[in-house]
Every structure is written in C-alpha cells, then in structure tokens.
Structure 1
Amino acid sequence: MSPLLPPVDRELPTPEARDLLDLTRELVEAELAPRAAEDEEAGRFPREVFRTLGRAGLLGLPYPEELGGGGQPYEVYLQVIEELAAGWLAVGMGVSVHTLACFPIARYGSAEQRERSLPDMLGGDLLGAYCLSEPHSGSDAAALATRADHDGDTYTLNGTKAWITHGGQADFYTVFARTSADKSRGVSCLHVPAGAAGLRPAAPEKKMGLRSSPTAQLVFDDVRVPEADLVGEEGQGFPIALSALDGGRLGIAACAVGVARAALETAAAYARERRQFGRPIGEFQGLQFMLADMATGVEAARSLYLSAARRRDAGLDYTTHAAMAKLFATDTAMRVTTDAVQVLGGYGYVSDFPVERYMREAKVLQIVEGTNQVQRVVIGRRLTRPR
C-alpha cells in the first residue's frame, strides 16, 4: 500500500538522512510488514530482526561514531523509529527501548564500560532492557524499593522490577536500584548481564496488544554485580533515569505517529476502494472530514516530536517538549486508530484487517514511559514553577 506522506517528501537535514529512511523503508517492506500480523497473533518475539537492524547500522543512530554509533541527530533517529513502528510497532518500540537501555553507558559510562559493551549493544549482538518500574513504583520512580547493597567490590541486588519490555529476552538489563535511604539521591544505575546468578524473569504478561514484544517482571535474588558495572557515580541514578526518559518519551511519540500513520493509510485506501450507494465511500463528505482530521493529527504529532528533537540536538532543555510530544502523539494515535476502525466498519473489527491491531497497540503508548496523566503533571509543574 503506497503511503500518503512518503519519507522523500519530508524535510530532512542531509542526503544521508534520506538514504537512512529509504533503507529503513526497504527493510520494513521486505522484513517486517509481511510477518508482523502473524507473529503478533502467535506472540513470537522477532529477536533476529534486531540483529538485522544492528548490522544495517540502525540500532546506534543517535550515538557518536567514535562509540560505534551512527552519529545522526535525534530528529533523524526518531523518523527511523516512526518508519519501523508503521510496519511493526513491536520492532519500533523495541528499538526505542534498546536505545533507552544503552543511553546510561553511552552518556555516563566510563571509557572502559563503553569500550567493553557499546560495540555489541549498538551492533545488535546484545539486546537491552530498561529496568526502572516496580510493582508498586511506576511513575513515582523515586519511590523504588529494589536495593543494591555495596559490599567490598560488588553490589548485591534484591527486589522486583515490573513491566520490563524484553524481560526474559534481553541480553543485558539497565537497572536502577536504591543504594541509600535518600529518596532521589539514593538511587544508582547498574549494568546487569542477563545470565547473572539470581536473576529470574517471570512469565510474560498476557497483554491486549504488542503480543510479540515480551513484557515481564524480573526478580533479583542476591544478584552480585561487580563495582565496575556501576554506571556513573553512586547516587546519580535518578538524574540518569530522568534524562534517559526524556529521550525515551520522544521515541514513544515517534512510535505513536508510525502507528497512527499506518492506520490512516489503511483507512484512506479502504475509502478509495469500498463502494456504497454506487460510489466510493471516500466521496462522502462525512468520511472525508474524518480522514482530514486524522491526517491533520498525524502531521501535527510529527511536527511536535521533531520540534522537541531539534531542541535536544541543539543542546536546549526539552523536558517539557518531550512530555508534550508524547502526550499529544499517543492521544492522537488512539483517536486515529479508533477512527480507522470506524471507517472500515465491520471489517475494521476483525483481524483480517490490521486496524483492530493498531487500535489495541495504540492504547499501550498512552501508558508506557509515564502515563499521559503524568505527562500533564510534568508539563503543568514546569509551567507553574517559580522562575
């Protein structure tokens, strides 16, 4: 199905960026889209796809070339995420989560940690997961209870992490744990290999959507972590987590635009082909208005995440803009996918057409990386705090 808004028509900073989006689109059409529905239905995790993306240089785009990354601005990386999510959300979101898991070592890690870990992380041989949320500590990240007790040259991890994307499938976990009683300044960041003794993933959650992307609890039972795997300084974990989440929220915004765009394209194609009362239903004004609102929302959401990304690339504060982009893009995705189901009528409600899957997938995007209610709190507090 040809897209309404091809990537070549977008404003891109360099010819290299255009080539990257073209490469991504080719991979989506050849490797992702043909199998997405079947693997989603079966709940199969496409681990080999991430190796393919790593070999193509798409897993390290926003990181410097000297670290093994692609040296691309965030605005380019996010458009790659959008393309992946338009073909298969589990992959687009998986790349976003992996990028989030790599961020602490790439930004705060020692030279030795970067040299030891980043080549395989960014090359696709090691897939990561980001472990911040807990069963009783989701958006209130400073209230986490998982402990990392410092004993000689090791930390001993005990606790449970929840809602972990790639839980049980990742090769490493970026774990935030309490190293002192101080609420926010007592959190530290640790790099934990998946094979560490005492680390036990629970059975994957049974979810409404994103069934091919495993989400599971992780139990840490006296897991010994070498002191050399502390990322940043002890007690620096909370600011590391927050700075990582700003970028992660933009990744989710790009995923939301990808899903919304896929739903829009499916609905518009159906409206051109489906005939009622002797003509295509797309000729009826009521349906045209629906499609117009859907298309406007997709374009506005993309513009918002790109604006926030350009602030990030310029070194400006973008926390508020990241929250706005995540909030608006994911609410837009929920609305657009719901309307796409309506455009298709009864066909939209059956799994023979993809829009019912898009609608189920859009819901989770309003929840992950901080619920949309939390995004409103972030925005409101920053607007009203003393200057």
Structure 2
Amino acid sequence: MNFALTDEQQMIVETVRSFVEAEIYPFENEVERSGHVPPELGRQIATKCRELGFYACNFPEELGGAGLDHATFTLVERELGRGSMALTVFFGRPSGILMACNDEQRERYLLPAIRGEQIDALAMTEPDAGSDVRGMKCMAKKDGNDWIVNGTKHFISHADIADFVILFAATGEEDTPHGRKKRITCFLVDRGTPGFEIREGYSSVSHRGYKNCVLNFDDCRLSDAQVLGEVHKGFDIANQWLYSTRLTVAASCVGRARRVFDLALSYAAERKQFGKPIGVNQGVSFKLADMITEIDAADLLTLSAASRLDQGLPSNREIASAKLYATEMLARVTDEAIQIYGGMGLMDDLPLARFWRDARVERIWDGTSEIQRHIISRDLLRPLGA
C-alpha cells in the first residue's frame, strides 16, 4: 500500500499547516490563560476557513463541501491537531451524521451547516451513560404527532457555540441476545426551543477554552419533522456515521505529537550540558528515536484505516486500533518531551504542559482505551465463535 502523498494532498497539508501556524498559534496562549475564545475571533477563523475553501471539506462537492476523501480529510485533521482545539473548532467540519437528513432537513440544517451559517453539536453522553450508550435515561415519549423529551446530557462538546444539537434519546425498549436494551432515536433540536437549556459544564484541565456543556430537557416538545433518520434507528445511525470520529481523534493526536516532537528535537540539538548538546547523549537520543517511531506508527495506522474507508472495506477494528494507539502514543510522547526539557517543560512559558494536559482526555472521549480494546478483541474472537 502506497502512502506517498499526491501533489494535491501535499498542497492541502501545507495550506492547512500554514493556516494553523498563522491563524491559530498566535492566540493559543491567551485562550489558555482566559479559558475563553472571543466570539469575534471564532468568526474570524471561520471566515478565513471559508475563504480558503476548506469549510465543510468533509462533505460532498454537490452539497457545497470540498468533497475530500477519508484519507485526505484525515490529513486535514492531522494538521489541525497541531493547534488549540478551542480555536480549530471554528475550522468548520459539521458532523457527518447530518448526511442522514431528509430533503426538508437538508434545507433547515445540513446546507446551513455546510455554508457555515449554523454550527451543530452531538448530544449523546449522560451522567450515567457514557460508554453504555443504550443505558441512556434521556427519554422522548410520543404525544400525538410530537415527542416530549425529558432528561440530561453532559460533556457535550462546543454546545456553547452550537445553533442546534443532534440529540440521541431513548424511545422505548427491545429484546436483544444480551437482555432488554433501550431503543434510540435521533432528533435535531434548535437552540432556544422551549424546555431546552444549554448551560456551561465542568472546568476541564484538557483543551481549555473548548467548552463542554450540560443540556437539560424539561418537557421539551419536538415534532416528527425533527426526527433524524427513522424512529428507533438512532443507534444504527450512530454506528454508521460516528465511529469514524474516532479516526479524527487519532489523526489530531498524531498532529499534536509531531508538534511536540519538533519542539523536543530542536531543544535536544540546541541545549548544551557539559559542553555538548544534550541530544548526543544516549539517554536523550534514544528517547527521540522511540518518539518518532511511535508517531510514524500511529500515523500509518490512521492513514491505513482511512484508506480502508475509502475502499469501502470493514474498518471498525482498524479505526479502534488507530484511536487506541495514537491517543496512548501522544501521552507517552508529551511526557518524554517534558523529560527532555527538564524543569522548564512544566513552566507556562512553554506549551508542553498544555499539550501534556490536553493529551489526557484523548484516551477517554469518543470511546475509552478500554472500549477500543473491547472492539478490537471482539472483532478477532467472534469469527472463531468466542
């Protein structure tokens, strides 16, 4: 399999990297200090992204996106991973699940999201239902031609800037080989809908400025027209569209790890102790060798999984492997970079402590490392009847 970049892919990588360096890096320290992104700055980033022609680059050209394939979009996410997530979120990539919109919903939600006129957020996780999605308690009950929603979601990323949320709610139960499970339906819910409240969530040490929110639904009335896909088929939609978001996490981890490595490599070559660069000492040089080997391995795992998606091949295990390895790799690389810098690595004068804190959440969201290992091992054992 050839992973050499085409001329177009190389151009895209260089363009996105330049964008991140020019439009994201200069504002990172202030966002880290304040924990807040000024609205005008977010709009500025989104406008410049649209001017580049990269807004909604993960959507087909006929809908107004750039029509990138999975491998090329993974390269975009890799480069965006170098920057603060609180800022790169405005480099618009609407949720792919919106492709499930019907004709009316396309006009109301999908196309405005692709044009950058509206921002979406996914609302799935609950206080008592994280990895156990079908254990959710947020319920939607039928009432004539409407649905009445009650319940709470939390850890909902960037809901503070969202114009609508893609809500997953329980709408009944069904018998499965593993006992009774909740039936899940997906809804499109506008900000400002009566009975729907978005409030600020928890203060996180990872990705400061990138808000997580709590969503409360109190007798929130939704119409049948707001059902995304089919009633009771929300879990199927999730499986079809959402597992590839784990590939995005893997790619962004690779990008951030490369930024960290570049800093560590330069420091090892420039910093002198006992009259020579510390990088010539085996204790440091071997760290660098291990770091770049792991980064390259994670990069190849991620691109390989993306390539399988482009070929229409089963990719769930491969994506889980990429997400598992890349997120754990990033933790090791950021830790080793700090070790190379010594005490200065922990100071706010450098971004390494931020990268170290940011790395921690990657092993948790979009499926914990334990869930990824479960997916991988299940895929291996099921064909053998185990």
TM-score (structure 1 length as normaliser): 0.92
Does residue 1:278 correspond to 2:275, yes or no?
yes
Greater shift after overlay, 243-252 or 317-326? 243-252
Determine the C-alpha separation between the residues in 2 that align with 1:340 and 1:90.
23
Determine the C-alpha separation between the residues in 2 that align with 1:120 and 1:12.
32
2:97 matched to which residue of 1?
104
Deviation at 1:227, TM superposition (A): 1.3
Deviation at 1:203, TM superposition (A): 2.4
Deviation at 1:226, TM superposition (A): 2.1
Determine the C-alpha separation between the residues in 2 that align with 1:187 and 1:175.
10
Greater shift after overlay, 169-178 or 112-121? 112-121
Query: Which runs of structure 2 are paired with 1:329-368 in the superposition (5 Å)?
Result: 329-368=326-365
2:122 matched to which residue of 1?
130
2:287 matched to which residue of 1?
290
Query: Which runs of structure 2 are paired with 1:1-387 in the superposition (5 Å)?
Result: 11-13=4-6, 15-45=7-37, 47-48=42-43, 49-92=45-88, 94=89, 99=93, 102-106=95-99, 108-182=100-174, 186-386=183-383
Alignment length (residue pairs)? 373
State the identity %. Answer: 37
Determine the C-alpha separation between the residues in 2 that align with 1:163 and 1:229.
23
Query: 1:95–1:181: structure 2 CA closer, same or farther, 3 Å change rule?
Result: farther
Greater shift after overlay, 144-153 or 25-34? 144-153
Structure 2 residue runs of 5 or longer lacking an equivalent are 175-179
What residue identity is the alignment partner of 2:183?
G
Determine the C-alpha separation between the residues in 2 that align with 1:279 and 1:114.
62
Determine the C-alpha separation between the residues in 2 that align with 1:334 and 1:299.
15
What residue identity is the alignment partner of 2:98?
I
8 Å Cα contact 1:128/1:174 also seen in 2: yes
2:243 alignment partner, SS class: helix
Greater shift after overlay, 189-198 or 149-158? 149-158
Greater shift after overlay, 185-194 or 140-149? 185-194
Determine the C-alpha separation between the residues in 1 that align with 2:29 and 2:71.
28
1:242 alignment partner, SS class: helix
8 Å Cα contact 1:204/1:216 also seen in 2: yes
8 Å Cα contact 1:82/1:258 also seen in 2: yes
Determine the C-alpha separation between the residues in 2 that align with 1:234 and 1:204.
29
Query: 1:54–1:369: structure 2 CA closer, same or farther, 3 Å change rule?
Result: farther
Determine the C-alpha separation between the residues in 2 that align with 1:62 and 1:264.
28
8 Å Cα contact 2:42/2:90 also seen in 1: no
1:359 alignment partner, SS class: helix
Greater shift after overlay, 252-261 or 329-338? 252-261
Query: 1:192–1:329: structure 2 CA closer, same or farther, 3 Å change rule?
Result: same
Query: 1:126–1:353: structure 2 CA closer, same or farther, 3 Å change rule?
Result: same
2:81 alignment partner, SS class: helix
8 Å Cα contact 1:327/1:372 also seen in 2: yes
1:206 alignment partner, SS class: coil
Pairwise CA RMSD: 1.8
Deviation at 1:89, TM superposition (A): 3.3
Greater shift after overlay, 155-164 or 133-142? 155-164
What residue identity is the alignment partner of 1:266?
L
Deviation at 1:47, TM superposition (A): 2.9
Query: 1:37–1:126: structure 2 CA closer, same or farther, 3 Å change rule?
Result: same
2:177 matched to which residue of 1?
none
Determine the C-alpha separation between the residues in 2 that align with 1:240 and 1:51.
31
8 Å Cα contact 2:135/2:182 also seen in 1: no
For residues 120-158 of structure 1, give each alpha carbon's deviation from its aligned partner in whole angstroms, at most 9, with x where no partner exists: 212322122111110000001111111112223322211
TM-score (structure 2 length as normaliser): 0.92
Deviation at 1:95, TM superposition (A): 6.7
1:4 matched to which residue of 2?
none
Query: 1:58–1:91: structure 2 CA closer, same or farther, 3 Å change rule?
Result: farther
Deviation at 1:35, TM superposition (A): 0.9
Deviation at 1:219, TM superposition (A): 0.7
What residue identity is the alignment partner of 1:145?
K
